[in-house]
Amino acid sequence: MRCPKCGAFLEEGKDICMMCGTNAKTYTPDNNNQFSNVSGFSNNSVQQNQFFNRPQTQTTNLNKYNKEVSYNEIAKGDRDFFDFAKEHNKIIKIVLSIVFVLALIFGVYKYIEYKNAPEKKVPVIGELYYKVADTFTEVKANDGYLYSKTGSKGTDCAIEVTYNPTTENDHVKTFFELARQELKPEEDDEGNIIDQLQIFTANEGEQTINKYVWYFLNISYRPDLSTETYSVLKHRYISSTFNGYSYDIKLTNNAGDNACNIALDQFTSSLEFIEE
């Protein structure tokens, strides 16, 4: 049996509703009461659904949980890196742009500095550094190097570098005397020079190359028999001593080639002793 007023189940043998206190026997139904037609013995499912499916009389205001959160309202001690980044987004972008530009400028500067850095000079033979043009082919000898210019000129354009320990005080004089003997014109049995164009003039001197003194012997020839001017420089001998070693260089331009002269001049200007 149910309470005619609130619809609660009544205990067996009890007339008083424990939920609302209504006396089921003396209760007079109210026309506005939604349970007036409900009987504890009723099988009317429509009437029962009126009780169980009654609409909710109280709703929850969910909007109060959708309140916009302001970062300015966060306590200073509770802010983290992401809060700071959000508040200073524009400033951080500007700073990062400046850092990127500075890094790019620094990188370009270091690259230019690297490209323009002077070449580290490493001795080629003994303690002597020099640079030979790429048009020459290198041939290593027992006591030095021989470089011949490639092409149709063959060995007509060549550089020969030798070095040996020496204790002679007159090493340069000895070296130049041997050069003269090597180039001495060929004579017949009567002592006459066979080829007049083999006659040469020799010019000796000294010059400073990259802070060091070198001694030179230039051998020049006449271009033809019609002139007495010895204007064709075919052989150059250069010599110097450094830390107990002699460095002797022979430059050859038998063909009188101007390009060869330029290459030999560039080689000579590169001579430099490297002091460790």
- Transcribe 136-196 into DSSP letters: EEEEE-SSEEEEEE-STTGGGEEEEEEEEE---TTHHHHHHHHHHHHHPPPB-TTS-BS-G
Say how far apart CA 157 and CA 251 lie, in whole Å: 8
Q: What is the pLDDT of residues 123-147, one digit of tens each?
A: 999 999 999 999 898 877 677 899 9
Q: Output phi, psi for 182, to 5 deg.
A: -65, -35
pLDDT at 172 over 90: yes
Would you state the pLDDT for residue 229? 93
Say how far apart CA 145 and CA 85 lie, in whole Å: 68
Helices (H) and strands (E) in the chain — how many of each? 5, 9
Domain residue extents for the chain: 1-56, 75-115, 128-185+196-273
**Averaged pLDDT, 10-22:** 81
User: Please, are residues 267 and 129 in contact by the beta-carbon 8 Å criterion?
Assistant: no
pTM: 0.57
Radius of gyration of the chain (CA): 57
Residue 23's pLDDT band (cuts 50, 70, 90)? confident
Q: What is the pLDDT of residues 100-122, one digit of tens each?
A: 999 999 999 888 877 777 778 89
For residue 235, list its beta bridge partners.
219, 252
Domain 128-185+196-273 CATH superfamily: Mog1/PsbP, alpha/beta/alpha sandwich (3.40.1000.10)
pLDDT top residue among 16 and 181: 181
Q: What is the pLDDT of residues 182-230, one digit of tens each?
A: 999 998 888 899 899 999 999 999 999 999 999 999 999 999 999 999 9
Q: Output phi, psi for 130, to 5 deg.
A: -160, 170
Q: Which of 79-88, 112-121, 166-175 has the lowest mean pLDDT?
A: 79-88
